[in-house]
């Protein structure tokens, strides 16, 4: 797969040569991409444009190319949200590991999560996800917004998914994942655990308990660890 970069606008071949935004130029230089090399410019939807880097940093738009495709397993993550910059770490690792959708949960014992997350934070997380996708050559961005979901919404919003709730000491996640042919929604609670009412709601909604070890992981570690295990089990390679 050619090195690609996301762009915020649709490009036409008639726009050549194209002066890239300064942030994109800095990224290209940081990667030491040589003059004459070809890269692909990707809008967030639709086909890309193959472009050649020239001496002055401009890009010659050469031809329309199919959007790259990466066959990632269909796994989403609903997680209680960690405090401070730990949220950045969660977005970064989950994106690297191929999460399709990242849903912030409002839980009774959450430290963060009484109100929707601020637009400035969501904007930062989108920027992080954008940079991560370019770095790890993932051509699709995960779905992420700042609207908090309640436990009771998950079964409705993901009615075609297998809901898997992480719980220490439960059946190993690998065994649960390997038995399913549905898309997966991993559910991670706060470090204090779900309340009794939330556990009852999850059970009533058909969520399956699964474990990733005997220890209690921090939120920003638990979700990505589960993603890595589930993705490995479902990967075609």
Range list for CATH 3.40.1280.10 in the chain: 75-234
Range list for CATH 2.40.240.20 in the chain: 4-65
Q: Note the pTM of the prediction, 2 decimals.
A: 0.89
User: Domain 75-234 is of which CATH architecture?
Assistant: 3-Layer(aba) Sandwich (3.40)
pLDDT of residue 109: 86
CA atoms of 55 and 22, how far apart (whole Å): 15
- HEC string for 173-235: HHHHHHCCCCCEEEEECCCCCCCHHHHHHHHHCCCEEEECCCCCCCHHHHHHHHHHHHHHHHC
Residue scoring higher pLDDT (31 or 176): 176
Asked whether the beta carbons of 84 and 113 are under 8 A apart, the reply is no
- Which value, to the nearest 10 degrees, does the dihedral of the CA atoms of residues 127, 64, 139, 153 take? 80
- Tell the CATH superfamily of the 4-65 domain: Hypothetical PUA domain-like; domain 1 (2.40.240.20)
pLDDT of residue 15: 77
Residue 131 tokens read as 């940079």
Interval 64-88: pLDDT, tens: 999 988 999 999 999 999 988 999 9
CA atoms of 125 and 91, how far apart (whole Å): 7
Output the furthest CA–CA distance in the chain (Å, rounded): 63
- Integer-rounded Cα Rg, in Å, for the chain is 20
pLDDT band at 110 (very low <50, low <70, confident <90, very high): confident
């Amino acid at each position: 797969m050619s090195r690609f970069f996301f762009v915020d606008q649709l490009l036409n071949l008639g726009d050549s040569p194209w002066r890239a935004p300064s942030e994109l130029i800095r990224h290209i230089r940081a990667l030491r991409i040589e003059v004459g090399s070809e890269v692909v410019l990707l809008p967030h939807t639709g086909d890309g444009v193959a472009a050649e880097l020239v001496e002055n940093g401009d890009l010659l738009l050469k031809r329309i190319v199919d959007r790259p495709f990466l066959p990632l397993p269909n796994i989403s993550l609903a997680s209680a949200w960690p405090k401070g910059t730990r949220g950045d770490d969660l977005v970064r690792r989950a994106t690297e590991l191929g999460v399709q959708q990242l849903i912030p949960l409002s839980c009774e014992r959450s430290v963060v999560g009484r109100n929707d997350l601020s637009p400035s934070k969501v904007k930062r997380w989108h920027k992080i996800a954008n940079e991560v996708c370019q770095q790890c050559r993932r051509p699709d961005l995960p779905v992420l917004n700042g609207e908090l979901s309640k436990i009771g919404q998950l079964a409705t919003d993901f009615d075609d998914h297998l809901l898997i709730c992480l719980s220490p000491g439960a059946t190993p996640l690998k065994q649960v994942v390997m038995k399913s042919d549905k898309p997966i929604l991993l559910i991670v609670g706060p470090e204090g655990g779900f309340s009794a009412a939330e556990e009852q709601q999850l059970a009533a909604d058909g969520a399956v308990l699964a474990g990733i070890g005997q220890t209690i992981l921090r939120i920003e570690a638990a979700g990505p660890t589960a993603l890595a295990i589930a993705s490995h089990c479902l990967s075609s390679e």
